Amino acid sequence: MRSPIPDGSSTTTLSGTEGPQDSRELLAPGYQEIWYSPAGARRSSSPSHTGHCFYHGAVQGLEASSVAVSTCAGLRGLISLNASVSYVVQPLPVAADTRSPGPPSPHAVFRAESVRRHNGSCPHHHGNEEHQEDPVDHFARGMTAEHGARERRDLSQNMKYVELLLVADHAEFEKHGRDLDGTRMKLLEVANLVDKYYRALSIRVALVGLEVWSDRDHITVSDNPYSTLGAFLTWRRKQLRTLPSDNAQLITGISFKGTTIGLAPLKAMCSDYQSGGVNADHSDSAVGVAATMAHEMGHNFGMSHDGVGCCPARPEDGGCIMAAATGHPFPRVFNDCNQRQLRGYLGSGGGKCLFNLPNTRLMYGGQRCGNGYLEDGEECDCGDEEECTSPCCHANNCTLQAGAECAHGVCCHDCKLKSPGEQCRAPSGSCDLPEYCDGKAESCPANFYLVDGAGCGGGRGYCYTGMCLSLEQQCRSLWGADGHPAPDVCFQRVNEAGDSFGNCGKDLLGKYRGCKERDAKCGKIQCVSSASKPTENHAVPIDTTVILGNRKILCRGTHVYRPGQEGDDQGDTLDPGLVMTGTKCGVDSICFEGECRNASFLRAGECSAKCHGNGLCNNYHNCHCDPGWAPPLCDQRGAGGSVNSGPVISSGSLLPVLLVLLLALCLALAIIDSLFKAHGHTNPTFLLKRQESLHQSSPRPSPGCASRSRYSITQQRKGYTQPPAPPLPPEVQGSDPAPARPEPPNRPPPPCPVGRTSPQEQLRSKPLKVTTDAIQRGKAALAPSAVQKKAYR
């Protein structure tokens, strides 16, 4: 991609060896932009599917480079040549709208370290001022790919998608001169940069909506981050029906008090009640608030602040995104500790909403063969011809190879769709549900889980956002394997205090509130453990001794602090030492926003009741039926599963079962047949023949008569060969053979029976009379010779 630069005559090359990637998946299907008239009337639009203008890429010829730019209104973004050299490009004020006719307008290109923070932004520092470096440069270093190559699209089953709602408050709108387009472009640039960051974790950030409060604030926004966050999350939940999202982030033009520039709940991604954060826009450049938002979203993903030894990058080289210190708001990378915490969060059942692939057929920005996403009119899309490695897809025209049924996805194997019912995603915990291929689509269905409020953990917990939450699990997480909940008296005595060490959270004014007796088990968690300190980073034990009868109980709580800011107990996450929302706090009771409430408000029981005892309710309030029962209500026989997750039993999986049953049936019939023969329940005439006589040919039966010889029937079997007789033992091989028995007389066949009555019917109507003497004579005739008895003894 080539784009004009300041004087209109020079160009800069932004394309790498594999070509630039438009980031059209940044804006999800159904993407809406919302604003308000001066009178407060709500306005919305879905932008045209043409002219998409957001790009990720690399600088041509520089493997260690990285680019995230937009061309929507001039060229703007961040260009990192390597770990130490980065440039910011943006249009000058007169170039605010390059869509107008005429020559290209001037742009500014300058080193990233030249960018200065906005006056009045939070004065963060990292202890030693000698190591202070401009924040934009730190973010620029983060744009450099870790292994010297830009991130490519990951279409594997591990890719995750965050459908994001991004909101600008009225102060942010005024900060941009009440310019709706300017505010909109700032937020889109922020989203593009955050998406670039999270690609390293196989996470894509796609906007489902962008809202600007152009008339007034629609919640109370103040310098108190806690009250602002609480109000914003409540507002977001009310929007879910009209504008569904996995996560919502508020960007405010107000500076929070103290040193806080953002706040977000921990381990809250996908929660209807807590998935979101608030971020102060503290820099003229979009890279500043983008770094803050990436950090706060990291808390939603279950990432806590980096502990000692986690970050391999020095502060002067940019630091890490999840660093506890805020002196470098534009850090470099996610590190191994962050990735380990993310895996743990996802493995415990968190982030269930992230696995549904957005419908890219209607993706904003227009369609193009080679962008790596399957769209209308395409049979497949494996990316550009230079990057396509699929043996199933023609990269030049996005059509399937001859004989191929599919090209991508976990439900596609060797260019063929997997059978319906084949598991494509195993459950990650007791509250997760498996998903199955449907035999029609190449991708796995969205991730489904048990409805909030379903019991789990042997009755010790409740499912909430796909996780089984219990006091036992949280104590082990905080204190190690021997951690377990303290007696109820610990929760009551400690949490009634209403201070930083014992509380039920903060009110809208940011003040600690003491717990009522019924809510005590929803405040600061109290555990019993022999460990010297909690396992959580920057956490210290808060021990309280409570006397219960004649014994003393050591109640162990936790307090999380920020290095260098011990006097500021606000932090940028909701207290990880609090009992998590969704945790069981009593019989039929669940913690919700610091209160112990009856779990019936989640209506899990009502939902599961419609499944007729043959299934459980999923998060879409549909029945997930046990194997053998059919959705939607599990009241009829079927394959199991739900209308969402696909069938449990595949047609292919039934074939081995049927083969085993058929084999067992044949074996049973063979045994019954041999038993009947041994007891003379078949025609005695055939039973009393010697085995040797079966090797003799019998005369051809008379024309029109059915053969009555077993041998004749055997000869008609296709491919039949008589097995060879076993060799004699050595002591018998030299003996004289037993005298051959005389051949039976070759008698003519009997006449054909008269009438249509079959021999079997005649036998049933006139059974043969076989005496005991006849049977004994038959046995004597079949008995082996003395030599034969010795040989087989």
434: nearest Cα among 577, 626, 667, 176: 626
Long-range contacts of 691-694 (CB under 8 A, 24+ apart): 691/782, 692/741, 693/744
Asked whether the bond before 632 is cis by omega within 30 degrees of 0, the reply is yes
Q: Give ∠ CA 522-353-451 in degrees, rounded to 5.
A: 55
Q: Are 381 and 375 a contacting pair, CB within 8 Å?
A: yes
Long-range contacts of 587-595 (CB under 8 A, 24+ apart): 590/453, 590/462, 590/464, 591/521, 591/522, 592/273, 592/522, 593/273, 593/505, 594/504, 594/505, 594/513, 594/515, 594/519, 594/522, 594/523, 595/504, 595/519, 595/522
Query: CA of 471: how far to CAs of 82, 484, 487, 521, 536, in Å?
Result: 47, 7, 11, 9, 16
Tokens of 254: 């107000």
Across the beta sheet with 66-70, what order do the strands follow? 21-22, 54-57, 66-70, 76-80, 86-91, 107-111
Beta strands 539-548 and 527-528, pairing class: unpaired
Strand partners, 54: 70
Nearest-angstrom CA–CA distance, 507 and 526: 21
| Phi, psi of 775, rounded to the nearest 5 degrees | -65, -40
Which residue numbers belong to the known binding site for Zn(2+)?
Answer: 295, 299, 305
Question: Would you call 405 a catalytic residue per the annotation?
Answer: no
Tokens 């003491």, located at residue: 514
Beta strands 160-168 and 203-212, pairing class: parallel
User: Annotated catalytic residue: which of 33, 172, 296, 435?
Assistant: 296
Which residue numbers belong to the known binding site?
Answer: 295, 299, 305
Provide the terminal-to-terminal Cα distance of the chain, rounded to the nearest Å: 90
Q: Give ∠ CA 288-293-298 in degrees, rounded to 5.
A: 130
Residues assigned a catalytic role: 296
